[in-house]
Chains A and B, each alone.
Chain A
Amino acid sequence: NAGVTQTPKFQVLKTGQSMTLQCAQDMNHNSMYWYRQDPGMGLRLIYYSASEGTTDKGEVPNGYNVSRLNKREFSLRLESAAPSQTSVYFCASSDQGALMPQHFGDGTRLSIL
């Protein structure tokens, strides 16, 4: 009963390095999301995908790119990491509309030095 799976769980990068965060869901949901969570800030939407083949910017998209590879997978890429991108990243999925996440992964804790 996997739900939403994120990899890796932890990562440390140097400024300027690139990396891709992976997310997969096995619930056949149409919508998928990437959020970042910072202390005292709640969650902020980076990008979302309402259906396979579509992606849209959220509240804080700068410095990120996404790919909806297929219905199951939605990846988040940092092309040139910056210390301000140190955060916990959550992927989520939903079958109840484009802006209401139902199931979240356990997060990727990313530190950028």
Chain B
Amino acid sequence: AQSVTQLDSHVSVSEGTPVLLRCNYSSSYSPSLFWYVQHPNKGLQLLLKYTSAATLVKGINGFEAEFKKSETSFHLTKPSAHMSDAAEYFCVVIAQGGSEKLVFGKGTKLTVNP
């Protein structure tokens, strides 16, 4: 069965420093992977997706993620954090060829300090 583990429940960075949000996945099939962002009192917004094309995926707002099959990871990065990046981030997997169920990680709350 497919699953997603977000390794940090909270990450705190200073404005202008790099962001790293870690996600490991488990899937018996070739996965599709996504990152969503949720700002306070708002719905989720799709940041980026990996669907077996290029392993380095660029998303909105300067975020990118790299699919590493050997490490079963799909970490989200941004070179320089902005105050507006403060939000909760969810890593999500769909296992192709299996049940195709969408599985959400439990989320990582990002705090950006001035």
Contact = CB atoms under 8 A, between A and B. Distances in A.
Interface of A: 4, 40-45, 59, 90, 92, 98-107
A45 B103 CA distance: 9
B45 A42 contact: no
Contact of A42 (B41, B43, B100, B105): B105
A104 B100 contact: no
A100 B32 CA distance: 10
B43 A107 contact: yes
13 contacts: A42-B104, A42-B105, A43-B44, A43-B104, A45-B101, A90-B43, A99-B94, A100-B34, A101-B44, A101-B46, A103-B45, A105-B43, A107-B43
B107 A42 contact: yes
Q: Which of B34, B44, B45, B105 has the most CB of A within 10 A?
A: B44
The 5 closest A-B pairs by CB, nearest first: A104-B43, A42-B104, A104-B44, A43-B104, A42-B106
Contacts of A45: 101-102
A100 B92 CA distance: 10
Interface string B35-47: 0000001111110
